[in-house]
Amino acid sequence: MKADSFVESSEQIDPVPGFELQKIAPTREERLFLVLSIFIGVLSGLLVVSFRVAIEWIRILTLGSAPHPGQYRLLLAPALAGLGVALLVRWLFPGAVGSGVNQTKAALYIYNGYISFRTVIGKFVTSAIAIGSGHSLGPEDPSLQIGAGVASMVARRLRLSRQSLRLFAPIGAAAGLAAAFNAPISAILFVIEEVIGRWSAAVLGSVVLSAISSVVVARWFWGFEPIFRIPQVTLRDPRELTAYAVLGVAGGVVALIFSKALGYLRPRLRSLARWTHFFQPGLAGLMVGAIGFFGFPQVMGPGYGVIDQAMHGQFAWKLLIALALLKLLATTLSFSSGTPGGMFAPTLFIGAMLGAAVGSFEKHYFPHLTGTVGAYALTGMGVLFAGFLRAPLTSVFMVMEVSGNYSIVLPVILANTIAYLLSRSLQPVPIFEIFTHQDGLDLPSMEEQREESVLHIEDALRSLDVPVVSGREPIEALSATISFDDTPAFLVQLWDGSWYAMSKDELTAAAATMTGSTPIERALKPDRAPLLFPDLPLDTALRYFSRWPLLPVLNRANKNKLEGVITLEDVLRRYQNS
Amino acid sequence: MAVFELRSPLTAEERQHKRKLILRDMLALLGLFAITAALAVATYFLFNSFSRRRQALAERWFERGESAISNGNPEQAVDAFRSALEYDPGQRETEIKLAMALSAAGRSEEAISYFNTLLESEPGNGLINLELARLAVKQRNESRAVEYYRRALDGTWQGDGYERRRMVRLELARYLIGQKDYSKARTQLLVAAGNAPDDPKIKLDIAGLMEQAEDPGNALEIYRNIAERKPCPVEALEGAGRVAFALGRFKLAREYLERVVSRPDFMSQPESVQSSNHELLAATVQVLDLFPGVELPARERAMRVLHAAEVAKGRLQACSLSRPTPPPSLADLATKWQQIPAKLSPLALERDPQMEQMIMNLVFDTEKQTATACGSPGGEDKLLLKIAQSPVGVEMQ
């Protein structure tokens, strides 16, 4: 994405020049937000359906209705399409390069939610050509970017504020992904896990609304069946969890190989002379085509049909392993060459083959165990999703959502967790972050954000080392007591249970203006110390130090009981030491 | 409180701009709606044309798969059925045909894997269980084969389940016969015979299998039942003659075999069948010519007893001489023969039925013992040995 896009976006946001929008229509954006979320969902759904149909049409036209080894078109179609796509991407649609997830994140964090119409068109056209002609890439990530682009366009058309524009990108992304997956929950979770990074009440409602709208549209066309036909899934024998654990380990290792392969090849190809970028997609297409030509056309394209076949036990375990490894190779070639297209479908493909291989192996050598090949394939998909894309929560929900079966949750959680932990320990930097660094961007790492340890008040808490007095105590007696103490402030407990942190200066001023027998509570200002508890985030306390010299920290069960006190120095010291 | 706060009133110019803003928002939303509607229509037509194309491709590839199978090219059929399923997933018929094509192409491991998956969603499917049984047979896994055959028998079948189950049962029986597990095979055949419709072809098939499963008694029953029909198939008469001969019921065998050779359609039978029937009939006639049946005139019977005794004694002598140290059983037989008067006239024998019986018993013992000691005999000894197996049955009807 070019930097001038941002300039363009800034200029557009001025709905009523010269007038304060907040004054003349204070609830406008709030009302429009929900209505537009539905529009974005419907539009994204329609575009994603058209996108998928376009891919299928192109596939039939270029590779034929049943590609099989030995057909020269398997070599020619992806190679020529690669050349064509490279020209389009370099000359017409520079924003269409890559998978779509990072571009959407960049739009959100760098370009204020701006994705140009040209990028959306480019993504649609170039991805459809590349994927349809056999490049080993998937349509989900482009769908996510198309959805985000639609949202951005709609928000710009309504001339919403920059803040709203930024919020619309993840809403559209969720809609696009939900329609592509036919699974709204997974899409919402993925966008929260991988794009937004944390649960945000401001957009959650709109994200849900748009995702559901897009799925309704997609299902109107594709039907209510999940994206994959899931065979019966059961877990009758707990010993089978061992096999699922093995699958988790295998998934973690394969995720590592996949990440390493992409991390190695992509920057090397990008660093080659600029003129080679025009040929890289074509050459990658030729190599992917060669894999198909010499015996494995299954690795070409997104491979949903092959996932379905593997899930229904059509392949022997040796062939499944071969397909997983060849798909890994083909995807590395296609993606590293800069061909537009996504990583989701290949990830699911490799995972499904790996899972089905484990399942078929078990069926063959341990026929007394009851696990089905379909269950293993399904779990394998989740395993690689967790291990490679590093979206553990989405991976679990995705498997449940696409299977419509809750009984698989135990093996999925087990296998996904193993794969995720193994992958994380072997490859600390997630794949999307690797791509971000390769692209020269510095986007927030969602995994790091998730695991950031937030400091709490208890981390800076000091034991009670200041005097605590009752509000009824006379000023004179109090002055005598406090004057011997070297603390700059003390705490006053009032009759209604509230607290006041009084400085020595305030006490001195009160003693000078009031009689000695006056209770100290009469000398207090009307405000009271805030209610702070040990579990609150530490930054909560910061805002009060301009008013209070120190703050009492109370027990949640008994507000008369003090857990300790904190001062600004305590807080700053804690942050400096963290 | 916020409820009682009054908004600052808008100026006339601000109100006008607010109206403009509302109007513009409405127009923008209308425009958005129009774009959505246009896109929906376009997507609808695109999707519909795509769906029709997919359906056409699914049908085309299914037909290609079927023709590949009928042309004996299962590898091509596998690709064709896979393509058909890609365009129209979940079609049970195509799925089963694909699995069968995999099996026919010799890709047993893939076929088993696929059949197993199909079975998971439909564990009671008779056809899938049958195919898995056949694959287990190919892999020489007897226990799994029998298990799948049994599941196929208990499973559900489309169309005429009654007939399909009988075919599976006969296939299982054939397999068990091949495995020389005759007792289990006989059980299956008896059930099949009990449930079989009144169709001579099916009954002939079952009777033939019963013969192979070493159950000639039940086979004979079935052959005889069919042979009573009018017109009866020549195969039933042949089978009845053959089985009756095997059971030692030579009179019955001759009756059926004579009917066989006298049938006009016998001449249209293959040469080998004709000659085997002729040989069997000739052997039957020879046996009956040797056998001293109770219905024979007394003189004739006595003559046959004396002849049988001569033959048996000759066999005993030859056998004893062939062994350097004859076994004690032969010595016992020789002793018993010495107790028989050396010069018995037919007339004397006619008057002593007990002697007749004693001699014939000794003849049968001699043939049996010498067969054990010196191997299978030839000539008349062979025929006498056959009679010795079941002398009561020779004339049994």
Q: Pick from A99, A53, A96, A59: which is nearest to A77 by CA? A: A59
Contact: B117, A25; criterion CB under 8 Å: no
Nearest CB among A19, A39, A221 relative to B17 is that of A19
pLDDT at A7: 34
Predicted confidence (pLDDT) per residue in B191-212, tens digit = 998 888 888 899 999 999 999 9
Higher pLDDT, B298 or A307: A307
pLDDT at A449: 66
Using the Cβ of B318 and the Cβ atoms of chain A, whether some distance falls under 8 Å is answered with no
Contact: B43, A221; criterion CB under 8 Å: yes
Q: Map tokens 């020595």 to a residue.
A: A504
Q: Map tokens 């949640």 to a residue.
A: A556
Lateral strand order in the sheet of A499-503: A468-470, A489-493, A499-503
Phi, psi dihedrals of residue B162, rounded to the nearest 5°: -60, -50
Contact: A42, B36; criterion CB under 8 Å: yes
Q: What is the bridge-based pairing of β-strands A562-566 and A551-554? A: antiparallel
Contact: B57, A60; criterion CB under 8 Å: yes
Using the Cβ of B36 and the Cβ atoms of chain A, whether some distance falls under 8 Å is answered with yes
Mean pLDDT estimate for chain B: 87
Q: Domain ranges in chain A?
A: 4-222, 240-451, 457-577
CA dist B188 and A303 (Å) reads 47
Per-position DSSP letters for B71-107, written without gaps between them: TT-HHHHHHHHHHHHHHSTT-HHHHHHHHHHHHHTT-
Residues of B in contact with A61 (CB under 8 A): none
CA dist B302 and A549 (Å) reads 142
Predicted confidence (pLDDT) per residue in B361-376, tens digit = 889 899 888 888 888 8
Residues of A in contact with B43 (CB under 8 A): 46, 49-50, 53, 221
Higher pLDDT, A578 or B48: B48
Domain A240-451 fold: Clc chloride channel (1.10.3080)
Q: Pick from B334, B40, B123, B208: which is nearest to A42 by CA? A: B40
Tokens describing residue B269: 């039978």
Q: Is residue B3 over pLDDT 70?
A: no
Structure letter (DSSP) for residue B266: G
> Which chain B residue shows the shortest CA-CA distance from A314?
B114
Which of B203-233 are b and which e, b meaning 16 or more Cβ less than 10 Å from the residue's Cβ?
bbbbbbbbbbbebbebbbbbbbbbbeeeebb
Closest chain A C-alpha to B157 CA, distance in angstroms: 21
Predicted confidence (pLDDT) per residue in B256-281, tens digit = 888 888 888 888 888 888 888 888 88
CATH of domain A4-222: 1.10.3080.10
- Whether the CA torsion A512, A513, A515, A518 is positive or negative: it is negative
Contact: B121, A232; criterion CB under 8 Å: yes
Contact: A65, B87; criterion CB under 8 Å: yes
pLDDT per 10-residue tile (average), chain A, 578 residues: 38 50 64 86 94 94 90 95 94 83 81 86 95 94 91 84 80 91 88 75 82 93 75 73 92 95 92 91 96 94 90 87 96 94 93 93 75 87 92 88 80 94 90 84 69 82 88 86 79 90 88 86 89 90 90 88 91 85
pLDDT at A72: 94
Q: What's the whole-number mean pLDDT along residues B334-338?
A: 86
Contact: A57, B50; criterion CB under 8 Å: yes
CA dist B251 and B228 (Å) reads 17
Per-position DSSP letters for A128-168, written without gaps between them: HHHHHTT-S-BSHHHHHHHHHHHHHHHHHHTT--HHHHHHH
In contact, B58 and B87? CB cutoff 8 Å: yes
Same fold: A4-222 with A457-577:
no
Contact: B29, A68; criterion CB under 8 Å: no
Tokens describing residue A33: 């937000």
Instruction: Give the count of alpha carbons within 13 A of A478, CB side only.
Output: 31
Tokens describing residue A410: 């135990």
Residues of B in contact with A229 (CB under 8 A): 89-90
Using the Cβ of B23 and the Cβ atoms of chain A, whether some distance falls under 8 Å is answered with no
Closest chain B C-alpha to A360 CA, distance in angstroms: 7
pLDDT at A232: 67
pLDDT at A452: 67
pLDDT at A83: 95
**Residue A113 CA, distance from chain mean position:** 16
pLDDT at A9: 41
> Which chain A residue shows the shortest CA-CA distance from B75?
A68
CA dist A124 and B39 (Å) reads 14
Q: Is residue B336 over pLDDT 90?
A: no
> Which chain A residue shows the shortest CA-CA distance from B47?
A53
Q: Please, which residues 376-405 of chain A have a Cβ atom closer than 8 Å to chain B?
A: none
Contact: A158, B25; criterion CB under 8 Å: yes
CA dist A64 and A55 (Å) reads 13
Instruction: Provide the residue type at A512 as one letter.
Output: A
| DSSP H stretches of helix in A366-474 | 373-388, 392-403, 409-426, 431-438, 446-451, 457-460
Using the Cβ of A15 and the Cβ atoms of chain B, whether some distance falls under 8 Å is answered with yes
Please confirm whether the linkage preceding A474 is cis (ω < 30° from 0).
no
- Whether the CA torsion A53, A58, A63, A65 is positive or negative: it is positive
| DSSP H stretches of helix in A442-517 | 446-451, 457-460, 475-483, 504-513
Element at A441 (helix H, strand E): none
> Which chain A residue shows the shortest CA-CA distance from B7?
A23
Distances (CA, A) of A176 to A44, A141, A146, A433, A438: 5, 9, 6, 22, 25
| Burial of B14 per CB tally in 10 Å (0-12, 13-18, 19+) | middle
Element at B248 (helix H, strand E): none
Tokens describing residue B74: 């299962």
Give which of A152, A221, A372 to mutate to test B binding, by max B Cβ within 10 Å: A221
Non-local CB neighbours of A44 within 8 Å, separated by 6+ positions:
A143, A146, A147, A150, A151, A172, A175, A176, A179, A210, A214
Residues in chain A, overall count: 578
CATH of domain A457-577: 3.10.580.10
Per-position DSSP letters for A523-570, written without gaps between them: GS-S-----B-TTSBTHHHHTTTTT-SSEEEE-SS-TTSEEEEE-HHH
CB pairs under 8 A between A and B: 127
Using the Cβ of A561 and the Cβ atoms of chain B, whether some distance falls under 8 Å is answered with no
ipTM, 2 dp: 0.73
Helix (H) and strand (E) counts in chain B = 18, 0
Instruction: Provide the residue type at B307 as one letter.
Output: H
Tokens describing residue B347: 């007339």
The neighbouring-strand residues paired with A462 are A565
